[in-house]
Amino acid sequence: MFDLSLLSKAIDVGDREKTIQLTNEALSAGTNPQDIIVHGLQAGMAVVGEKFSNGEYFLPDMLMAARAMKAALEILKPLLKETGIPTIGKVVIGTVEGDMHDIGKNVVATLLSGNGFEVFDLGLNVPAKKFIDEVSEKKPHILGMSALLTTTMPVMGKVIKALEEAGLRSSVKVIVGGAPVTQDYANYIGADAYAHDGGKAVPVCKQLLDK
């Protein structure tokens, strides 16, 4: 069995080349791509976050780790899409305006598309108007919003209000997530659902299709 802690370490030290090499080795050893993301890459990123919090790491360290993780996700994304599962629902997803964190959102988008959802990823720093326009045009079953900063969490509530004002709220289910977001916060802003991580987002979105 491949030791995924090696991959976590490569993310921790922001070594892109090593991360790519170890991701390929893990795949060759038969490791499931979802396990590589959750137990290797994401676990490493959690350490980076802790080190940033306690002053051991600075912004460039986070950037290097992010670069390494993105490179690994690029390798894994097509493999998660190769499941051959028929499309079960449409999701528009993005990171809200003012927020430049897109790795978690990318993980969620990748896992959703690997589990049968058609995903329209609007990227990061997405203005409310863009969310509204895309919901109006694509008519998704689900709108997903990600926020990683306490300062950008309220933007998700603003988008929900804008959906109401545009008369679109009843046409789409809203799921929110991101490290500082909680179920209580999701209830507070009037979202339909919350998921703590990408793995949980998949069954939660499937449940939303039946509501």
Question: Scanning residues 104 to 133, which ones bind ligand B1M (CB under 6 A)?
Answer: 104-105, 107-108
Angle between helices 16-28 and 4-12 in degrees, nearest 10: 170
Which of 4, 7, 36, 45 is the binder for ligand B1M (CB under 6 A)?
45
Q: Is 97 in the site for ligand B1M (CB under 6 A)?
A: no
Tell me the residue number closest to ligand B1M, measured at CB.
Answer: 104
1-40 residues in contact with ligand B1M (CB under 6 A) are none
> Does residue 66 touch ligand B1M according to CB under 6 A?
yes
Considering only residues 43, 46, 71, 132, which one is a binding residue for ligand B1M as defined by CB under 6 A? 46
Binding ligand B1M (rule: CB under 6 A), the pick from 42, 110, 113, 115 is 42
End-to-end distance of the chain based on CA atoms, in angstroms? 40
Question: Measuring CA to CA, which residue among 11, 73, 14 is closest to residue 45?
Answer: 11
Check residue 102 for interaction with ligand B1M (CB under 6 A).
yes
3-class secondary-structure state, position 174: strand
The strand ranges marked E within the chain are 89-95, 117-121, 142-146, 173-177, 193-194
Distances from the Cα of 44 to the Cαs of 5, 11, 34, 131, 168, in angstroms?
A: 8, 5, 15, 31, 39
184: CB partners within 8 A, 6+ apart: none
* Residue choice 32, 56, 100, 182 for contact with ligand B1M (CB under 6 A): 100
Query: Rounded distance, CA 83 to CA 63, Å?
Result: 31
- Least spacing, CB of residue 102 vs ligand B1M, in Å: 5
Annotate each residue in 165-194 with x if it binds ligand B1M (CB under 6 A) or - if it does not, as one string: ----------xxxxxx--------------
Token pair for 196: 């703590």
Among 72, 80, 128, 145, binds ligand B1M (CB under 6 A): 145
By CB under 6 A, residue 63 contacts ligand B1M: yes
Give yes or no for residue 157 binding ligand B1M (CB under 6 A). no
For the purposes of burial, counting CB atoms within 10 Å of the CB of 150, is it exposed (0-12), middle (13-18) or buried (19 or more)? exposed
Say how many residues touch ligand B1M, by CB under 6 A.
39
Amino acid type, 182: T
Which positions lie near ligand B1M, rule CB under 6 A? 42, 45-46, 48-49, 52-53, 59, 62-63, 65-66, 93, 98-105, 107-108, 144-146, 148-150, 175-180, 195, 197-198, 201
